[in-house]
Chains A and B, each alone.
Chain A
């Protein structure tokens, strides 16, 4: 067997996703066994490698970036933890450490809970879970190293009060664990005792919470022995105590004279600072954005909003595979010259057969528009899917789900090998908990031109998100339509002010994730006469929150309902980043249908169908849509499943809020028997749910007027954009899209019907 698995050996990311002329973006790359690579800036037009697609079209931009750069490997400091800077006040001859712990991988191996231990492990102390899953304290003195364990494995996902003490005078060590819950034959209560000679000296060492502080390289803070699980209310005292005394003090430690620090994770929940409520304010910083606003050991199930009872939400869930910012050194930067056309660009990195494209958006100059139309790049949805792992983790179950074999790419294989590249909001962490936070400050290997989704389409042949949206650029270029590009993050930051410069907004193929500022702005703009072309499916579905301090970091709680690859724990439906109730927008009085005319109806990932026109398509109000198009069947072709109606589809539903003036212009046919509705459509499972037997699972092409002369045109299908370039753009999907765009660009208000 001579074939080898394909391997991706150059990866990178940028500090920004979108920028305007005069602004600078920094690119960071990591190479494996590559001494030198070439970089250029290119404008991306199309990367449709389907045998019947348009192929790879990019235009090189003359810039000072063009040239060769030395390749180097840059490590990723994965793992979330809390870092408290070293301070003389953190030192003591004797100590007691205690906290509430909900371990999720107690048998993983050594995991630090609270540690001031140097990198070599030969100086300091560390409260930890040992290799047998038991609570332990390691003391490293000038005379030796001792690790004292309870010898009893902690129960996974059971709260325990754990702690340990060291008496500097006698050298005595005590450790304990007190589970909140026991079962006959399963009592994880444990104690241990031992001793060590010598004195501890942790001077100069930062204190780590949920990990042992490791080496530091510039902004990169590596950690050692990271733990998985929820930690709550760590305490540090300057004298030795036994379990009973420490437990008695745990809830109210401030009266204890020996208190050194008492961290309260229920304070400043929306940010990355952890507060010490003790007298010396040994505040710390969280690294890699662990999940906050988590239920604590005392959550009583009566309160669901962390803001209403912060004391019951004093836990942080740490993961050894969290990554918020790789912190890599910059390889090169690019300052966008004045006059560079708004569009989708990339830094192209090439070394022999290895390459990477790091995408970015050039916006119109700040405060202005250079066109009447805007492509609103659904970057929040790209971020939700960033480094998605379903195909590499699900084996044959994915075969059955998507109706064909998956096709793993070099990107998929690297993601599988490198958990430090982090996960998508569809993934589970290594400890089995759902991934609630995603960041773009890391290589996002599936947000790349030419990259298809491993489990979507036979052999992973269908594009997804970023690469599925690029053909729209190709279409606009072909027709000579002027169009600016901005991202969801731009909309989140600038709101209505951004949209108010444009007459038409076009979405991508799958704008699924919206923050409240984004949705409010889009809704408000529509009511002021804006014209929206929703060119996708399953849009406006989930509510997300962007981090209040770190740009490019986003949070999701998969709560209550909707298509969920994981489900948030009870009591953890409220977002930490903004305190809002997370989940589906339609569960929060913001039905998709009211905005778009259509809303999520179902999904399948094998083939696409087509649309058949309805009588409404002959309504004079919609005459402009089909001008010059006599075909009854629309979109029975395309590179995404062979049709324009498919993958994830939306239908008009007046009972769910579609405006009464919505015209259903065409309705889909030909979806397969593995198209199913989402859980929000299934109140009770029935043996006729699939699209062959269930007429509710369909895509619909709709049009409706909004206030002040505005309008909405929706395709209700992820596959639509994949049909635009078929037959050299000479097809009825391109025709309909061009007709709608031309009319929407016309300032003539749409009359009230």
Chain B
């Protein structure tokens, strides 16, 4: 698995603009790496109001693993959740804070 290159802010910017859908090869490889990274929390969303509200949680793989809600304000847009989770992963792997707002 490739290490994350903190200098690739172009990929951060690409993701910020377009968190879901067709992406560049470099961004896709970055996402595949951080989403499957064994040292990062297994983030997941829990839908608390259908199509309207989601909360951030962790859920390890396997059967019956505990789902744990995280202390984080709810999301009203799943794309906003994508950005916030990207920030958490980026911070954990590079130590850098990315801007809160998309």
Residues of A at under 8 Å CB distance from B?
A: 1, 3-6, 49-51, 53, 389, 391-397, 399-400, 403-409, 413, 416-417, 419, 430, 450, 452, 454, 458-461, 606-607, 670-674, 692
- Enumerate chain A residues within 8 angstroms of B44, measured Cβ to Cβ: 391, 395, 405-408
CA distance A529 to B49 in the complex (A): 47
Taking a contact as CB atoms under 8 Å apart, the answer to whether B28 and A673 are in contact is yes
Taking a contact as CB atoms under 8 Å apart, the answer to whether B50 and A49 are in contact is yes
B36 at interface (Cβ–Cβ under 8 A)?
yes
Render B61-93 as a binary contact track against A, CB cut-off 8 A, 1 for contact: 111110101010011001101100100000000
CA distance A394 to B46 in the complex (A): 15
B16 at interface (Cβ–Cβ under 8 A)?
no
- Enumerate chain B residues within 8 angstroms of A408, measured Cβ to Cβ: 44-47, 57, 59, 67
- Enumerate chain B residues within 8 angstroms of A417, measured Cβ to Cβ: 64
Taking a contact as CB atoms under 8 Å apart, the answer to whether B36 and A3 are in contact is no
Known pairs A671-B22, A672-B23 / 15 extra A-B pairs, C-beta < 8 Å: A1-B71, A6-B47, A392-B59, A393-B62, A397-B36, A404-B78, A404-B82, A407-B44, A407-B78, A409-B50, A416-B64, A458-B20, A459-B78, A460-B45, A607-B20
B95 at interface (Cβ–Cβ under 8 A)?
no
Contact of B25 among A400, A606, A673 (CB under 8 A): A673
* Given contact pairs A49-B50, A607-B22, A419 touches B36 in the complex (Cβ within 8 A): no
B32 at interface (Cβ–Cβ under 8 A)?
yes
Taking a contact as CB atoms under 8 Å apart, the answer to whether B78 and A458 are in contact is yes
Q: Tell me the interface secondary structure of chain A in the complex.
A: loop
Taking a contact as CB atoms under 8 Å apart, the answer to whether B20 and A403 are in contact is yes
Within 8 A of A (CB), among B40-59: 40, 42-48, 50-52, 54-55, 57, 59
B84 CB → nearest A CB, Å: 10
CA distance A671 to B23 in the complex (A): 11
- Enumerate chain B residues within 8 angstroms of A674, measured Cβ to Cβ: 28
Contact of B43 among A1, A396, A454, A607 (CB under 8 A): A396
Taking a contact as CB atoms under 8 Å apart, the answer to whether B48 and A692 are in contact is no
Taking a contact as CB atoms under 8 Å apart, the answer to whether A405 and B59 are in contact is no
* Given contact pairs A406-B45, A409-B47, A3 touches B62 in the complex (Cβ within 8 A): no
Taking a contact as CB atoms under 8 Å apart, the answer to whether A405 and B36 are in contact is no
Taking a contact as CB atoms under 8 Å apart, the answer to whether A450 and B50 are in contact is yes
- Enumerate chain A residues within 8 angstroms of B37, measured Cβ to Cβ: 396
* Given contact pairs A1-B69, A395-B61, A458-B78, A50 touches B20 in the complex (Cβ within 8 A): no
Render B18-40 as a binary contact track against A, CB cut-off 8 A, 1 for contact: 01111101001001100111001
Interface residues on B, range: 35 or more
Contact of B81 among A403, A405, A670 (CB under 8 A): A405
Taking a contact as CB atoms under 8 Å apart, the answer to whether A459 and B47 are in contact is yes
CA distance A700 to B40 in the complex (A): 40
Taking a contact as CB atoms under 8 Å apart, the answer to whether A419 and B63 are in contact is yes
A48 CB → nearest B CB, Å: 9
Query: Taking each of B21, B43, B71, which has the highest tally of chain A beta carbons within 10 Å of its own beta carbon?
Result: B21
B60 at interface (Cβ–Cβ under 8 A)?
yes
CA distance A625 to B83 in the complex (A): 42
- Enumerate chain A residues within 8 angstroms of B35, measured Cβ to Cβ: 396-397, 399-400
* Given contact pairs A3-B55, A6-B48, A458-B78, A395 touches B42 in the complex (Cβ within 8 A): yes
A538 CB → nearest B CB, Å: 21
Taking a contact as CB atoms under 8 Å apart, the answer to whether A49 and B51 are in contact is yes
- Mind listing 11 A-B residue pairs with CB under 8 Å? A3-B69, A395-B42, A395-B65, A396-B61, A400-B36, A404-B78, A405-B43, A408-B44, A458-B20, A461-B78, A672-B21
- Enumerate chain A residues within 8 angstroms of B75, measured Cβ to Cβ: 459
Taking a contact as CB atoms under 8 Å apart, the answer to whether B82 and A458 are in contact is yes
Taking a contact as CB atoms under 8 Å apart, the answer to whether A393 and B61 are in contact is yes
B24 CB → nearest A CB, Å: 8
Taking a contact as CB atoms under 8 Å apart, the answer to whether A400 and B31 are in contact is yes
CA distance A53 to B50 in the complex (A): 12
- Enumerate chain B residues within 8 angstroms of A692, measured Cβ to Cβ: 22
Taking a contact as CB atoms under 8 Å apart, the answer to whether A395 and B59 are in contact is yes
CA distance A393 to B43 in the complex (A): 12
CA distance A408 to B21 in the complex (A): 20
CA distance A243 to B82 in the complex (A): 61
Taking a contact as CB atoms under 8 Å apart, the answer to whether A3 and B32 are in contact is no
CA distance A654 to B59 in the complex (A): 45
Closest to A671 in B: B22
Taking a contact as CB atoms under 8 Å apart, the answer to whether A672 and B22 are in contact is yes
B67 CB → nearest A CB, Å: 6
Closest to A400 in B: B35
CA distance A606 to B20 in the complex (A): 6
CA distance A288 to B52 in the complex (A): 39
B28 CB → nearest A CB, Å: 6
- Enumerate chain A residues within 8 angstroms of B20, measured Cβ to Cβ: 403-404, 458, 606-607
- Enumerate chain A residues within 8 angstroms of B45, measured Cβ to Cβ: 405-408, 459-460
* Given contact pairs A405-B78, A408-B67, A416-B67, A396 touches B46 in the complex (Cβ within 8 A): no
A593 CB → nearest B CB, Å: 27
- Enumerate chain B residues within 8 angstroms of A3, measured Cβ to Cβ: 48, 55, 69, 74
